[in-house]
């Protein structure tokens, strides 16, 4: 018996370590699941409001999509031994920007450089990587606070109106027109990536799975409380990436990860969160494929299929059914890739 126990100890530590990665895959999987579901309704007007981005100020479930993905990217940066290497990071940034521009060009049938989801992820990740590469942890924290504080002051001076706020003015000056995925959005989003990197560093130091979950939960509660406090003075607004939105999104992402860490680490013989882990294993690939499908082969059939579904159920049910079918198709693609041991990494 003592011999068996000694033999299992390394296995136990290895399994606990792998659970941490499984929880991160699950977080990334949840982010991409919500992204596919929110981005592909049968009809935006019929979709339940929680799965439609707020018109301006406000925070709904849909507003959590981007923070979840950016936060998971930051944690990966903290956990990866290769995250400090320049060539892989620059290659990944260039590929994400190029693919993002192609997706936007296909959607609007106009080939041109553009802002977009993947472009923002690339820019935010690059800024966070640069901060981690050249600044100490203390300086990173100070810089993030200065950035958010400066944006708060800037937005307060310009006001929060859609066409005249600080982000709109910067975008109009530098790239021609305002965008909710514009330049200041990239700067704000980099704080979420950077925060994920800090947590990734701390998670590596935690001795057990439960310690990792507890540490993450404490960080999430603190950030969520700070975000809610800031929201009393600064509007929650995803479209211009206000400081309150950035902090609250970071805190809630942290709490979701804490729950996943607890679930995956509570017993060594559980199955983790396999469906979410499957989606998270090829997140960028499934996002690209579903986005292209939605704006090409599925675009002509979306309206008639939605109308047929709405005729036999409520419009909201039809919108959910279409979005759910897109998500199911994306999951099927990830499952096939996973079973073939194909993991597309940029």
Query: Is there a contact between 323 and 68 (Cβ–Cβ < 8 Å)?
Result: no
The tokens for 119 are 């472009």
Residue 45 CB neighbour total at 10 angstroms: 9
At residue 116, φ and ψ (nearest 5 deg) are 175, 180
Task: For residue range 1-43, list pLDDT tens digits in order.
Answer: 333 333 333 433 344 443 346 788 899 999 999 999 999 998 8
Separation of CA 149 from chain center: 23
At residue 248, φ and ψ (nearest 5 deg) are -65, -40
Would you tell me the crossing angle of helices 299-312 and 315-339 to the nearest 10 degrees?
Answer: 130
Which residues neighbour 333 within 8 Å (Cβ) at sequence distance 6 or greater?
282, 285, 286, 289
Query: Is there a contact between 164 and 217 (Cβ–Cβ < 8 Å)?
Result: no
What local confidence, expressed as pLDDT, does residue 42 receive?
84
What local confidence, expressed as pLDDT, does residue 38 receive?
95
What local confidence, expressed as pLDDT, does residue 139 receive?
97
Long-range contacts of the stretch 144-151 (C-beta < 8 A, 24+): 144/191, 144/194, 144/195, 147/187, 147/188, 147/191, 148/188, 148/191, 148/243, 148/246, 148/247, 149/243, 151/184, 151/187, 151/188, 151/242, 151/243
Half-sphere exposure of residue 257, counting CA atoms within 13 Å on the CB side?
Answer: 36
Low-confidence spans in the chain with pLDDT less than 70: 1-21, 81-83, 267-272
What local confidence, expressed as pLDDT, does residue 83 receive?
65
At residue 136, φ and ψ (nearest 5 deg) are -70, 165
**What pTM was estimated for this model as a whole?**
0.90
Phi-psi region of 60 (alpha: psi -120 to 50; beta: other; left: phi over 0): beta
Q: Where are the domains of the chain?
A: 18-52+266-346, 59-260
Residue 236 DSSP code: -
* 3-state DSSP of 14-56: HHHHHHHHHHHHHHHHHHHHHHHHHHCCCCCCCCCHHHCCCCC
What local confidence, expressed as pLDDT, does residue 271 receive?
61
Task: For residue range 295-308, list pLDDT tens digits in order.
Answer: 999 999 999 999 99
At residue 176, φ and ψ (nearest 5 deg) are 100, -30
Query: Is there a contact between 150 and 191 (Cβ–Cβ < 8 Å)?
Result: no
The tokens for 345 are 């990494």
Length of the chain: 346
Which residues neighbour 14 within 8 Å (Cβ) at sequence distance 6 or greater?
none
Residue carrying the six token digits 């810089």: 143
Query: Is there a contact between 312 and 23 (Cβ–Cβ < 8 Å)?
Result: no
């Amino acid at each position: 018996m003592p011999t068996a126990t000694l033999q299992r100890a390394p296995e136990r530590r290895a399994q606990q370590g792998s659970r941490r990665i499984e929880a991160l895959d699950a977080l990334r999987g949840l982010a991409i699941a919500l992204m596919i579901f929110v981005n592909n309704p049968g009809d935006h007007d019929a979709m339940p409001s929680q799965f439609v981005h707020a018109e301006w100020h406000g925070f709904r479930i849909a507003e959590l999509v981007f923070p979840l993905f950016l936060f998971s990217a930051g944690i990966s940066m903290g956990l990866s031994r290769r995250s400090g290497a320049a060539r892989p990071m620059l290659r990944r940034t260039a590929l994400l920007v190029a693919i993002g521009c192609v997706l936007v060009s296909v959607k609007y049938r106009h080939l041109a450089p553009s802002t977009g989801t993947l472009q923002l992820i690339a820019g935010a990740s690059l800024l966070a990587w640069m901060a981690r590469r050249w600044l100490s942890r203390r300086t990173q924290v100070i810089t993030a606070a200065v950035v958010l504080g400066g944006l708060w002051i800037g937005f307060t001076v310009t006001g929060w109106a859609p066409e005249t706020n600080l982000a709109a003015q910067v975008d109009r000056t530098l790239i021609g027109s305002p965008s909710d995925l514009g330049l200041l959005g990239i700067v704000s989003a980099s704080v979420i990536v950077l925060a994920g990197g800090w947590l990734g560093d701390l998670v590596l130091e935690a001795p057990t799975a439960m310690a990792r979950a507890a540490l993450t939960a404490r960080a999430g509660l603190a950030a969520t409380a700070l975000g809610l406090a800031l929201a009393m003075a600064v509007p929650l607004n995803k479209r211009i990436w206000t400081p309150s939105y950035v902090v609250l999104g970071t805190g809630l992402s942290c709490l979701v990860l804490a729950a996943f860490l607890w679930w995956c680490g509570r017993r060594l013989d559980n199955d983790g969160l396999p469906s979410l882990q499957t989606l998270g294993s090829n997140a960028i690939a499934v996002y690209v494929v579903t986005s292209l499908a939605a704006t090409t082969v599925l675009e002509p059939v979306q309206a008639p299929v939605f109308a047929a579904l709405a005729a036999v159920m409520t419009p909201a049910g039809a919108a959910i059914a279409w979005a759910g079918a897109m998500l199911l198709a994306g999951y099927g693609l990830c499952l096939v890739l996973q079973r073939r041991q194909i993991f597309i990494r940029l």
